[in-house]
Amino acid sequence: MRITALAGGVGGARFLRGLRTHLDATPDLADSELTIIGNTGDDISLFGLRVCPDLDTLLYTLGGGIHEGQGWGRADESHRVQGELAAYGATPQWFALGDLDIGTHIARSQWLAQGLSLSEATTRLAQRWGLPDQRVTVLPMSDSPVETHVVVEDADGQRAVHFQEWWVRMQASLPAQRFVAVGMDRATAAPGVLDAIRHADVVLLPPSNPVVSIGIILGVPGVRDALRGTAAPVVGVSPIIGGMPVRGHADACLAAIGVECTAGAVAGLYEDFLDGWLVSQEDAASVRLPRAQVRGRPLLMTDRAAAAQIAGAALDLALETKRG
Ligand code: GDP
Ligand code: CA
């Protein structure tokens, strides 16, 4: 079976690792191919290096190198380089860059400087993490740089800051007025992205941030049309449980686009292509969708086994659902 997923960072990666675990434990599904279309709107250039936080979270999580407690960054990490940068007064200092992680960014930046596309650089990084052996392909949504910026307002008036500055430095404390995907007007989908949706047997939306992860990928020209047009059932998992994001600031992101922070309202963002929506059991009674099947399940990815169960439930829902 060919499964294609759209994903941000931590929520997407934990779900997809669970999906791979579920597939590997199911004899009929073990040879399934998983293609992940990763959000690159979080990407940022720091100290001359290209940093792709969501792609790296996917690679580290699926490749077994992730810091489990944090959900991002490398396990057994040190921060000697960052300490040295701080001693020189080099900025910014609010974005955590571990030494091992910096190795990833140096390798990627060098390949990009040599003329490789982001897709090609990502393929090389994925080899090191053993993803081809797991039948997992990670594709950036686009090879052209797209950066999510956030328009905020304070006493000095309105200004736009990079998404990472808003998310990491400000902890989303200034209300976002709106998000701007800088570079999207010139962006095209990376090679393989649209075909991975069109030719999939199943398309899954992990519980990634609906605005700044999935929402950004949906803005890549052709992606939304491919989701509407594919013969594959499209099934998503709610990142919102009982009116709250499980982690992160999805509530602040939804507020900025005028959408209620509920499982049902998030499904509304996908209503033109969504066939099935997995929600938390407590939300199941209150979510009614005109053209998607709703199913309630425990949705907390407390460990790998829980994530595998959730992924299995999403896949089951997809396999029972016809496109309608
Ligand atoms: P990010 O790029 O690292 O922010 O990660 P994603 O965009 O992929 O995922 C972030 C979303 O995952 C947040 O909105 C969380 O609410 C959601 N999330 C995190 N952990 C869980 C979980 O255990 N269950 C569910 N249902 N959602 C989760
Ligand atoms: Ca992200």
Residues 271-312 have pLDDT tens digits of 999 999 999 999 999 999 999 999 999 999 999 999 999 999
DSSP 251-317: HHHHHHTT--SSHHHHHHTTTTT--EEEEEHHHHTT---SSSEEEEE-----SHHHHHHHHHHHHHH
Q: How far apart are CA 254 and CA 88, in angstroms?
A: 39
To the question of pTM greater than 0.95 for the whole model, the response is: yes
**Can you say how many angstroms the Cα of residue 259 is from the centroid of all Cα atoms in its chain?**
19
How many angstroms separate the alpha carbon of residue 114 from the centre of ligand 1?
A: 34
Residue at 230: amino acid letter: T
Reported as a single tens digit per residue, the pLDDT across 143-177 is 999 999 999 998 999 999 999 999 999 999 999 99
215 Cβ inside 6 Å of ligand 1? no
d(CA 212, CA 11): 12
Question: Which atom of ligand 1 is least distant from the CA of 12?
Answer: 8
Quote the percentage of the chain above a pLDDT of 70. Answer: 100
Confidence (pLDDT) at 296: 98
CA of residue 206 to ligand 1 center, whole Å: 8
Q: What is the CATH number of domain 2-144+186-319?
A: 3.40.50.10680
Q: Encoding tokens for residue 75? A: 């396990």
CA 251/CA 217 separation, integer angstroms: 19
Q: What is the DSSP track for 224-256?
A: HHHHHH-SS-EEEE-SEETTEESSSSHHHHHHH
Work out the pLDDT band at 322, boundaries 50, 70, 90.
Answer: confident
Distant-in-sequence, close-in-space partners of 290: CB < 8 Å, separation ≥ 6: 271
Pocket flag, ligand 1, residue 208 (CB < 6 Å): yes
Per-residue pLDDT reduced to its tens digit, 247-273: 999 999 999 999 999 999 999 999 999
Domain boundaries, the chain: 2-144+186-319
For the Cβ of 219 lying below 6 angstroms from any atom of ligand 1, the answer is: no
Q: Which ligand is nearest to the CA of 57?
A: 1
Q: Is 9 in the pocket of ligand 1 (CB under 6 A)?
A: yes
pLDDT of 1 over the 80 cut: yes
Backbone angles phi, psi at 152, to 5 degrees: -120, 165
